[in-house]
Chain A
Amino acid sequence: MSELRPVVVAVIFGMVLVTYLTKAGGLWLLGRVELSERLEAGLEILPGAIVVSILAPELASGGPAELAAGGVVLAVAWRTDNVLLALGCGVGAVLLFRSIG
Protein backbone atom coordinates (compact mmCIF):
# COMPACT_ATOMS: atom_id res chain seq x y z
CA MET A 1 0.00 0.00 0.00
CA SER A 2 3.02 2.19 0.43
CA GLU A 3 4.27 2.50 -3.09
CA LEU A 4 5.26 5.64 -4.93
CA ARG A 5 3.35 6.22 -8.16
CA PRO A 6 5.36 8.06 -10.82
CA VAL A 7 2.57 10.57 -11.52
CA VAL A 8 2.23 11.48 -7.87
CA VAL A 9 5.99 11.79 -7.46
CA ALA A 10 6.05 14.11 -10.49
CA VAL A 11 3.33 16.34 -8.98
CA ILE A 12 5.19 16.41 -5.66
CA PHE A 13 8.35 17.34 -7.52
CA GLY A 14 6.48 20.21 -9.16
CA MET A 15 5.34 21.40 -5.73
CA VAL A 16 8.92 21.16 -4.46
CA LEU A 17 10.16 23.22 -7.37
CA VAL A 18 7.70 26.10 -7.00
CA THR A 19 8.05 26.09 -3.20
CA TYR A 20 11.83 26.23 -3.33
CA LEU A 21 11.56 28.95 -5.94
CA THR A 22 9.66 31.13 -3.46
CA LYS A 23 12.01 30.31 -0.56
CA ALA A 24 15.19 31.02 -2.50
CA GLY A 25 13.60 33.78 -4.58
CA GLY A 26 13.55 36.31 -1.75
CA LEU A 27 17.25 35.83 -1.05
CA TRP A 28 18.07 36.14 -4.71
CA LEU A 29 15.71 38.99 -5.57
CA LEU A 30 16.57 41.45 -2.85
CA GLY A 31 19.35 43.71 -3.90
CA ARG A 32 18.29 43.25 -7.51
CA VAL A 33 14.64 44.28 -7.33
CA GLU A 34 12.95 46.65 -4.93
CA LEU A 35 9.67 45.29 -3.54
CA SER A 36 7.23 48.11 -2.86
CA GLU A 37 5.40 48.13 0.46
CA ARG A 38 2.17 47.97 -1.46
CA LEU A 39 3.24 44.72 -3.09
CA GLU A 40 4.43 43.35 0.23
CA ALA A 41 1.04 44.05 1.80
CA GLY A 42 -0.59 42.19 -1.08
CA LEU A 43 1.69 39.18 -0.71
CA GLU A 44 1.12 39.05 3.04
CA ILE A 45 -2.63 38.90 2.69
CA LEU A 46 -2.52 36.04 0.15
CA PRO A 47 -2.46 32.98 2.43
CA GLY A 48 -5.41 34.25 4.50
CA ALA A 49 -7.38 35.22 1.41
CA ILE A 50 -6.83 31.78 -0.10
CA VAL A 51 -7.84 29.96 3.08
CA VAL A 52 -11.03 32.03 3.22
CA SER A 53 -11.67 31.23 -0.45
CA ILE A 54 -11.47 27.53 0.36
CA LEU A 55 -13.74 27.87 3.37
CA ALA A 56 -16.48 30.20 2.16
CA PRO A 57 -17.97 28.02 -0.61
CA GLU A 58 -17.50 24.92 1.53
CA LEU A 59 -19.45 26.42 4.42
CA ALA A 60 -21.99 28.06 2.11
CA SER A 61 -22.88 24.68 0.59
CA GLY A 62 -22.70 22.76 3.88
CA GLY A 63 -25.66 21.98 6.09
CA PRO A 64 -26.51 23.57 9.44
CA ALA A 65 -24.54 20.85 11.28
CA GLU A 66 -21.32 21.79 9.50
CA LEU A 67 -21.93 25.51 9.97
CA ALA A 68 -22.56 25.13 13.69
CA ALA A 69 -19.54 22.85 14.11
CA GLY A 70 -17.48 25.42 12.21
CA GLY A 71 -18.54 27.94 14.80
CA VAL A 72 -17.37 25.60 17.56
CA VAL A 73 -13.94 25.22 15.91
CA LEU A 74 -13.68 28.98 15.50
CA ALA A 75 -14.54 29.64 19.14
CA VAL A 76 -12.17 27.01 20.54
CA ALA A 77 -9.28 28.00 18.26
CA TRP A 78 -9.79 31.66 19.11
CA ARG A 79 -9.90 31.07 22.86
CA THR A 80 -7.26 28.38 23.31
CA ASP A 81 -4.82 28.58 20.37
CA ASN A 82 -4.80 24.79 20.62
CA VAL A 83 -4.96 23.12 17.22
CA LEU A 84 -5.75 19.58 18.24
CA LEU A 85 -8.29 20.64 20.86
CA ALA A 86 -10.09 22.81 18.30
CA LEU A 87 -10.15 19.97 15.76
CA GLY A 88 -11.31 17.46 18.37
CA CYS A 89 -14.14 19.70 19.53
CA GLY A 90 -15.12 20.37 15.91
CA VAL A 91 -15.30 16.70 14.98
CA GLY A 92 -17.24 15.92 18.16
CA ALA A 93 -19.62 18.80 17.42
CA VAL A 94 -20.23 17.77 13.81
CA LEU A 95 -21.03 14.19 14.83
CA LEU A 96 -23.36 15.42 17.55
CA PHE A 97 -25.14 17.97 15.34
CA ARG A 98 -25.51 15.45 12.50
CA SER A 99 -27.08 12.90 14.82
CA ILE A 100 -29.54 15.52 16.03
CA GLY A 101 -30.31 16.92 12.59
Chain B
Amino acid sequence: MSTDAARAHRSDETDEESGVDETDGEPAATDEPLEFGFSGLRAGFIACVPVALGVAGYGVVFGVLARQVGLTTAEAVLMSATVVAGAAQLIAVELWEPSIPVVAVIVTTFIVNLRYVLMGAALQPWFSRLPPLQAYGSVFFMADENWALTMGHLRSGGRQGAYLLGSGLAIWLFWVAATWVGAVGGGAIGEPSSYGLDFVLVAVFIVIAVGLWEGRSSLLPWVVAGTVAVACAQFLPGRWYILLGGIAGCLVEVARFDE
Protein backbone atom coordinates (compact mmCIF):
# COMPACT_ATOMS: atom_id res chain seq x y z
CA MET B 1 0.00 0.00 0.00
CA SER B 2 2.77 2.32 0.73
CA THR B 3 6.40 1.60 1.31
CA ASP B 4 6.29 -2.14 1.54
CA ALA B 5 3.92 -1.82 -1.30
CA ALA B 6 6.34 0.09 -3.36
CA ARG B 7 9.12 -2.22 -2.43
CA ALA B 8 7.19 -5.31 -3.40
CA HIS B 9 6.19 -3.55 -6.56
CA ARG B 10 9.74 -2.53 -7.30
CA SER B 11 11.28 -5.93 -6.70
CA ASP B 12 8.59 -7.43 -8.84
CA GLU B 13 9.47 -5.03 -11.59
CA THR B 14 13.15 -5.85 -11.51
CA ASP B 15 12.45 -9.57 -11.58
CA GLU B 16 10.10 -9.62 -14.44
CA GLU B 17 9.79 -6.11 -15.84
CA SER B 18 6.41 -4.55 -15.95
CA GLY B 19 3.82 -7.26 -16.19
CA VAL B 20 2.09 -5.53 -19.03
CA ASP B 21 4.86 -5.86 -21.60
CA GLU B 22 5.43 -9.53 -21.24
CA THR B 23 1.91 -10.76 -21.30
CA ASP B 24 2.07 -11.57 -24.98
CA GLY B 25 4.81 -14.12 -24.65
CA GLU B 26 3.79 -15.19 -21.17
CA PRO B 27 3.98 -18.97 -20.97
CA ALA B 28 1.74 -19.27 -17.93
CA ALA B 29 -1.11 -17.33 -19.48
CA THR B 30 -2.46 -20.14 -21.58
CA ASP B 31 -6.08 -20.85 -22.21
CA GLU B 32 -6.34 -23.22 -19.29
CA PRO B 33 -9.15 -22.10 -17.04
CA LEU B 34 -8.33 -20.68 -13.64
CA GLU B 35 -9.73 -22.27 -10.55
CA PHE B 36 -11.60 -20.01 -8.20
CA GLY B 37 -12.18 -21.69 -4.90
CA PHE B 38 -11.42 -21.97 -1.24
CA SER B 39 -7.97 -23.53 -1.65
CA GLY B 40 -6.72 -20.57 -3.67
CA LEU B 41 -8.33 -18.15 -1.27
CA ARG B 42 -6.61 -19.87 1.62
CA ALA B 43 -3.21 -20.08 -0.12
CA GLY B 44 -3.29 -16.37 -0.94
CA PHE B 45 -4.39 -15.43 2.54
CA ILE B 46 -1.63 -17.43 4.25
CA ALA B 47 1.09 -16.21 1.89
CA CYS B 48 0.08 -12.63 2.54
CA VAL B 49 -0.16 -12.61 6.35
CA PRO B 50 3.51 -11.67 6.93
CA VAL B 51 3.18 -8.87 4.39
CA ALA B 52 -0.10 -7.76 5.94
CA LEU B 53 1.65 -7.38 9.29
CA GLY B 54 3.86 -4.76 7.65
CA VAL B 55 0.82 -3.04 6.22
CA ALA B 56 -0.67 -2.93 9.71
CA GLY B 57 2.11 -0.57 10.78
CA TYR B 58 0.85 1.97 8.28
CA GLY B 59 -2.71 1.27 9.36
CA VAL B 60 -1.98 2.28 12.94
CA VAL B 61 -0.29 5.46 11.76
CA PHE B 62 -3.19 6.23 9.43
CA GLY B 63 -5.67 5.75 12.26
CA VAL B 64 -3.78 8.06 14.60
CA LEU B 65 -3.36 10.76 11.98
CA ALA B 66 -6.97 10.53 10.78
CA ARG B 67 -8.14 11.30 14.32
CA GLN B 68 -5.69 14.19 14.57
CA VAL B 69 -7.16 15.89 11.51
CA GLY B 70 -10.69 15.50 12.82
CA LEU B 71 -12.06 12.27 11.41
CA THR B 72 -14.00 10.13 13.86
CA THR B 73 -12.94 6.55 14.55
CA ALA B 74 -15.90 5.25 12.56
CA GLU B 75 -15.03 7.46 9.60
CA ALA B 76 -11.37 6.41 9.62
CA VAL B 77 -12.35 2.73 9.75
CA LEU B 78 -14.95 3.23 7.02
CA MET B 79 -12.35 4.86 4.80
CA SER B 80 -9.89 2.01 5.29
CA ALA B 81 -12.55 -0.63 4.71
CA THR B 82 -13.87 0.88 1.50
CA VAL B 83 -11.04 2.81 -0.17
CA VAL B 84 -8.33 0.20 0.58
CA ALA B 85 -5.43 2.28 -0.76
CA GLY B 86 -2.83 3.20 1.84
CA ALA B 87 -0.80 5.90 0.13
CA ALA B 88 -3.90 7.66 -1.17
CA GLN B 89 -5.54 7.59 2.26
CA LEU B 90 -2.47 9.06 3.95
CA ILE B 91 -2.37 11.80 1.34
CA ALA B 92 -6.07 12.47 1.85
CA VAL B 93 -5.41 12.91 5.56
CA GLU B 94 -2.57 15.28 4.73
CA LEU B 95 -5.01 17.38 2.68
CA TRP B 96 -7.88 17.13 5.17
CA GLU B 97 -9.15 20.30 6.88
CA PRO B 98 -12.30 21.16 8.84
CA SER B 99 -13.79 22.54 5.63
CA ILE B 100 -12.95 19.51 3.54
CA PRO B 101 -11.25 20.35 0.21
CA VAL B 102 -13.46 17.81 -1.54
CA VAL B 103 -12.23 18.23 -5.10
CA ALA B 104 -8.55 18.22 -4.13
CA VAL B 105 -8.97 15.09 -2.01
CA ILE B 106 -10.81 13.13 -4.71
CA VAL B 107 -8.69 14.28 -7.65
CA THR B 108 -5.46 13.58 -5.77
CA THR B 109 -6.73 10.15 -4.74
CA PHE B 110 -7.45 9.37 -8.37
CA ILE B 111 -4.04 10.53 -9.59
CA VAL B 112 -2.12 8.70 -6.87
CA ASN B 113 -4.03 5.52 -7.67
CA LEU B 114 -3.55 5.69 -11.43
CA ARG B 115 -0.80 3.11 -11.10
CA TYR B 116 -3.51 0.54 -10.31
CA VAL B 117 -4.53 0.77 -13.96
CA LEU B 118 -1.18 -0.77 -14.87
CA MET B 119 -1.46 -3.41 -12.20
CA GLY B 120 -4.95 -4.40 -13.28
CA ALA B 121 -3.78 -4.54 -16.88
CA ALA B 122 -1.02 -6.94 -15.87
CA LEU B 123 -3.62 -9.30 -14.34
CA GLN B 124 -5.90 -9.16 -17.33
CA PRO B 125 -4.45 -12.12 -19.34
CA TRP B 126 -5.44 -14.42 -16.47
CA PHE B 127 -8.46 -12.64 -15.08
CA SER B 128 -10.13 -12.40 -18.47
CA ARG B 129 -10.77 -16.13 -18.03
CA LEU B 130 -12.73 -15.62 -14.81
CA PRO B 131 -16.41 -14.71 -14.65
CA PRO B 132 -16.71 -10.91 -14.41
CA LEU B 133 -18.07 -10.96 -10.88
CA GLN B 134 -15.02 -12.87 -9.61
CA ALA B 135 -12.54 -10.75 -11.55
CA TYR B 136 -14.04 -7.35 -10.82
CA GLY B 137 -14.86 -8.32 -7.22
CA SER B 138 -11.28 -9.43 -6.57
CA VAL B 139 -9.67 -6.20 -7.77
CA PHE B 140 -11.52 -4.26 -5.07
CA PHE B 141 -9.05 -5.89 -2.66
CA MET B 142 -6.02 -5.22 -4.84
CA ALA B 143 -3.16 -3.40 -3.13
CA ASP B 144 0.46 -3.19 -4.22
CA GLU B 145 1.58 -6.04 -1.98
CA ASN B 146 -0.98 -8.69 -2.82
CA TRP B 147 -0.85 -7.75 -6.49
CA ALA B 148 2.88 -8.53 -6.47
CA LEU B 149 2.28 -11.85 -4.67
CA THR B 150 -0.49 -12.79 -7.09
CA MET B 151 1.57 -11.93 -10.16
CA GLY B 152 4.30 -14.17 -8.75
CA HIS B 153 1.81 -16.99 -8.26
CA LEU B 154 0.29 -16.73 -11.73
CA ARG B 155 3.57 -16.25 -13.58
CA SER B 156 5.08 -19.30 -11.97
CA GLY B 157 2.21 -21.34 -13.37
CA GLY B 158 -0.25 -21.09 -10.47
CA ARG B 159 -3.87 -21.35 -11.51
CA GLN B 160 -5.62 -20.10 -8.41
CA GLY B 161 -7.86 -17.27 -9.52
CA ALA B 162 -8.88 -16.60 -5.92
CA TYR B 163 -5.28 -15.89 -4.89
CA LEU B 164 -5.67 -12.12 -5.31
CA LEU B 165 -8.87 -12.14 -3.27
CA GLY B 166 -7.36 -14.31 -0.52
CA SER B 167 -4.20 -12.26 -0.18
CA GLY B 168 -6.25 -9.08 -0.46
CA LEU B 169 -8.52 -10.19 2.36
CA ALA B 170 -5.46 -10.67 4.58
CA ILE B 171 -4.34 -7.12 3.86
CA TRP B 172 -7.86 -5.76 4.24
CA LEU B 173 -8.33 -7.39 7.66
CA PHE B 174 -5.02 -6.13 9.05
CA TRP B 175 -5.44 -2.71 7.44
CA VAL B 176 -8.91 -2.16 8.86
CA ALA B 177 -8.09 -3.57 12.30
CA ALA B 178 -4.90 -1.51 12.52
CA THR B 179 -6.77 1.62 11.51
CA TRP B 180 -9.22 1.02 14.33
CA VAL B 181 -6.40 0.49 16.85
CA GLY B 182 -4.65 3.66 15.70
CA ALA B 183 -7.83 5.72 15.68
CA VAL B 184 -8.86 4.65 19.18
CA GLY B 185 -5.34 5.24 20.46
CA GLY B 186 -5.02 8.50 18.53
CA GLY B 187 -8.22 9.83 20.06
CA ALA B 188 -6.71 9.53 23.52
CA ILE B 189 -3.75 11.74 22.63
CA GLY B 190 -3.89 15.40 23.54
CA GLU B 191 -1.87 18.18 21.91
CA PRO B 192 -0.06 16.50 18.99
CA SER B 193 3.00 18.74 18.85
CA SER B 194 3.95 17.96 22.45
CA TYR B 195 4.51 14.36 21.32
CA GLY B 196 6.13 15.28 18.03
CA LEU B 197 3.06 13.80 16.30
CA ASP B 198 2.74 16.80 14.00
CA PHE B 199 5.95 15.53 12.43
CA VAL B 200 4.72 11.97 11.88
CA LEU B 201 2.97 12.70 8.59
CA VAL B 202 6.14 14.22 7.14
CA ALA B 203 8.07 11.23 8.42
CA VAL B 204 5.58 8.79 6.88
CA PHE B 205 5.99 10.41 3.48
CA ILE B 206 9.77 10.26 3.77
CA VAL B 207 9.52 6.53 4.46
CA ILE B 208 7.14 6.08 1.54
CA ALA B 209 9.52 8.03 -0.70
CA VAL B 210 12.40 5.75 0.27
CA GLY B 211 10.29 2.79 -0.80
CA LEU B 212 9.39 4.40 -4.10
CA TRP B 213 12.97 5.35 -4.96
CA GLU B 214 14.05 3.36 -7.98
CA GLY B 215 17.62 4.53 -8.18
CA ARG B 216 19.04 7.37 -10.22
CA SER B 217 16.24 7.20 -12.78
CA SER B 218 13.96 8.67 -10.11
CA LEU B 219 16.21 11.65 -9.50
CA LEU B 220 15.26 13.97 -12.37
CA PRO B 221 11.47 13.59 -12.14
CA TRP B 222 11.64 13.92 -8.35
CA VAL B 223 13.75 17.07 -8.46
CA VAL B 224 11.40 18.61 -11.01
CA ALA B 225 8.36 17.59 -8.95
CA GLY B 226 9.83 19.05 -5.76
CA THR B 227 10.93 22.29 -7.42
CA VAL B 228 7.57 22.86 -9.11
CA ALA B 229 5.76 22.06 -5.86
CA VAL B 230 7.84 24.53 -3.84
CA ALA B 231 7.35 27.25 -6.47
CA CYS B 232 3.60 26.65 -6.76
CA ALA B 233 3.20 26.55 -2.98
CA GLN B 234 4.49 30.14 -2.92
CA PHE B 235 2.12 31.51 -5.51
CA LEU B 236 -1.02 29.40 -5.49
CA PRO B 237 -3.67 29.08 -2.80
CA GLY B 238 -4.62 25.73 -1.30
CA ARG B 239 -2.80 22.48 -1.88
CA TRP B 240 -2.83 22.34 -5.65
CA TYR B 241 0.95 22.44 -5.67
CA ILE B 242 0.89 18.73 -4.78
CA LEU B 243 -0.86 17.76 -7.98
CA LEU B 244 1.05 20.26 -10.09
CA GLY B 245 4.39 18.99 -8.80
CA GLY B 246 3.35 15.37 -9.33
CA ILE B 247 2.15 16.04 -12.85
CA ALA B 248 5.33 17.98 -13.68
CA GLY B 249 7.44 15.01 -12.54
CA CYS B 250 5.27 12.68 -14.61
CA LEU B 251 5.58 14.86 -17.72
CA VAL B 252 9.37 14.94 -17.43
CA GLU B 253 9.42 11.17 -17.26
CA VAL B 254 7.15 10.89 -20.31
CA ALA B 255 9.19 13.47 -22.25
CA ARG B 256 12.56 11.85 -21.65
CA PHE B 257 11.38 8.27 -22.13
CA ASP B 258 13.36 7.59 -25.31
CA GLU B 259 16.73 8.08 -23.66
Contact = CB atoms under 8 A, between A and B. Distances in A.
A81 B211 CA distance: 8
A66 B245 contact: no
A88 to B, nearest CB: 9
B83 to A, nearest CB: 5
Interface in A30-79: 30-31, 35, 37-62, 66, 69-70, 73-74, 77-78
A43 B115 contact: yes
Interface residues of B, dominant DSSP = helix
Interface in A10-34: 11-16, 18-31
A57 to B, nearest CB: 4
Interface residues of B, number: 101
Which of B225, B227, B248, B257 counts the most A-chain CB atoms under 10 A from its CB?
Answer: B225
Interface in B14-28: 18, 20-21
Residue from the set A21, A52, A87 with the largest chain B CB neighbour count within 10 Å: A52
Contacts of B85: 19
B113 A18 contact: yes
* Interchain residue pairs A-B with the least CB separation, the first 8: A26-B120, A53-B245, A49-B249, A56-B226, A50-B246, A53-B229, A57-B233, A26-B121
Interface of A: 1-5, 7-9, 11-16, 18-31, 35, 37-62, 66, 69-70, 73-74, 77-78, 81, 83-84, 86-87, 90-92, 94-95, 98
